[in-house]
Chain A
């Protein structure tokens, strides 16, 4: 397996910059998710790693080898496309065997490997069918089998789950993670779905407008977003932001709870809150409202687990609080996160 590096990669289409000066490394065996809204450059970046696009500047290095100027077929990578891109005129077996035949693998070995890959994804009974006779989930498995069969150094997966219905997506995600663990192949995974990213990624690279905003574990990205974009892009509902002079305070809705439910020993800051509306979602309640002085009247949301039975009614004022450790502080001008140390100190002095 191999380390995949993007060194100072830029890509311009005519006058539009799709990817700007990206540096990124996927460690050996790592599952790295490229997450971002559509048009952020994540797919372009992946296509450059695959060799389907030429970067305007920078180098792509796979397993220590500079492959920037090499065609896709010499990079020993496998790619699964959003549409699965199965060859419609070939059977499932033909599809899976295609990469092997293209490499001149012997017939016997090809047959063995196809069976191996088909078994891995439990699609042996489908081998003689044509793609059009398969369900969405089956197609996705065939695409994965076709990717796996050549034992590549790197998997590139471009939103492979987005064409599945919600129910199937959960189990597919699980299986995907399982087989990646088993094979231990370095994997880059492009998605715009943060839940997928959080669930699958060893690390997540958050991209927007051609720039990497943050690379980190799901927890780092969620709990310590590097800037306001990451803070609001990840999490549903997104992080609450409160502007205080040149600082922006951020806290997750699930950290914003009635003061009485916080354990007494935790350092916290109180935020008076006027409730306007609440939604019952089964496991949670979403409570909408506006902060009261001394805070500017900002719309914020609280996410209360249903087992917290404190009464919060529309129109009422209620003291809510956030654990100091759960407070994020961003520079208002640059949007960047402010240093941890200062954060704790100033938060204490500001509040209570």
Chain B
């Protein structure tokens, strides 16, 4: 089976001024993004990940290299018909209602008239936007804008969904909701490419990650593999008394092991926040 996205030796140079100076934004990047997974593309600002996404979507031409989406050259309409895209900080025509926007995007994506209404309602439902779909987009909160953006990206039931910073500016409850939507899409068999700075969220929802820096790929692999420290182990112990701790450390030392630290497990602030404000879902 072909990859969802196959990037081979991609390089992108931007011309700077009239003297022919070049800025290399992407440098000989090769990636294979497998189908049916959530794939995180990470990196600091200016590392080339947004440029890579734009080249993948045919919005910018690469200087050299080859990109295929689901087996089709990336610049073709056929590739884009199978792809949904949510840009960073999406902006839509404010005079449209959410439903009108999703319907318009469905028309542009070639959804047939027979399937139109069911496709629009399904996308609005997945994005939890059915209730607000009749309101003008100008009245939406940031979280709702992201969710309606997600709905327009998936209305034509694409096999590949590319999300550029889908939770930027969204509160943790809204971000968690978007995280759930991403997992739902994966469960439906879609491939999701997620570009984000929120490493905690990426860690939670992604199966694989790639990290870019200075236009180059510096790490790629399964999340569990790249984060695991195979030479260290974490035990969570209940009712550990000082005596029991000394005894455990002695027993471990007898086998050549050494306790490096003993701490209390913590919840993340995000988990605590979500627990406390579950009633305030993106009002």
Asked if A and B are interacting partners, one says no
Interface of B with A (CB < 8 Å)? none
Q: A residues engaging B (CB < 8 A)?
A: none
